[in-house]
Homo-oligomer: A and B are copies of this chain.
Amino acid sequence: MRRWFDDIGYAVILFVIAVTVLFLIAPIVVSVMMSFDGRAYLGKFPPPNYSWHWYQNFFSDTFYLGGLKTSLILAVIATLVSTTAGVSAAIVLDRYEFRGKQALEALFLSPLVVPAVVIGFALLLFFALLGVFDGFTRLMGAHIIITFPYTVRTTLAGLVGIRKTLTEAAMSLGATEMQAFWDVTFPLARTGIVAGAVFAFAFSMDDVAVSLFLTSPDTYTLPVAMVSMMRTNFDLTIAAAAVVLMVFTFALILVLDWIIGLERLIGKGVFRS
């Protein structure tokens, strides 16, 4: 009789999981199928026939392509800059004990805590104050700031597993501290650093909240383009754009999975949001 409680407990849990799975999978499946809809208008689900024409629309629309181009350029530069800064910061946080270390750590991770709209608005004001009104420069600064915490976090996660005795061993064998870093620490932290760079890239590609505040009429990102198309000209080209963006992100995650394994990512909590 007591066993019965165990068995009913499992049943309830399994039901909750089944409902969750449905709501997580269904919308994405619907969107992907609709993006291949063969009809020229937005019709009922499921599509009666399939074609690539929404993708042809997407790749021939200069508004979307402009957004895609800006997104890619921003993502590449933001990734390079914030990876460099993030690795430097993580090394200092990992190796040294100093007054205010906790405050610095909190500060470096603060873009994770401050709401995105607040960051977007604050940067809008700050750039206005500095006299910077060029859309690209503003987006660039914003994307570096919002991607920086990811590179710090993943590098830190990579450094945590490296025993301090390895650096000490290298120094006892004649290497200076910098040489020990390049010989030992850097190669071992490489997967963490690469993970940070990939996340930074993906996050820069996908951001909308911050970018919305900083776009100018001729400089906007792909997600921002999607949002504005949704308001002005809603058709299934947005579905195609969404699939393109998603495929991009998934490709990056797969690369990352291939390099360091998805489980380790989840375990280390370096998953981007």
Contact = CB atoms under 8 A, between A and B. Distances in A.
Interface of A: 2-3, 5-6, 9, 12-14, 16-17, 19-21, 23-28, 30-31, 34, 44-45, 84-85, 88-89, 91-92, 102, 104-119, 121-126, 129, 141, 144-145, 148-149, 153, 157, 176-179, 181, 203, 205-206, 208-209, 212-213, 223, 226-227, 230, 238-239, 242-243, 245-246, 249-250, 253, 262-263, 266, 268-273
A13 B105 CA distance: 15
17 contacts: A5-B178, A5-B179, A9-B178, A12-B88, A13-B91, A24-B110, A25-B107, A27-B125, A28-B110, A45-B125, A106-B262, A112-B271, A113-B249, A115-B206, A118-B245, A209-B209, A213-B227
Contacts of A253: 113
A243 B107 CA distance: 17
B108 A24 contact: yes
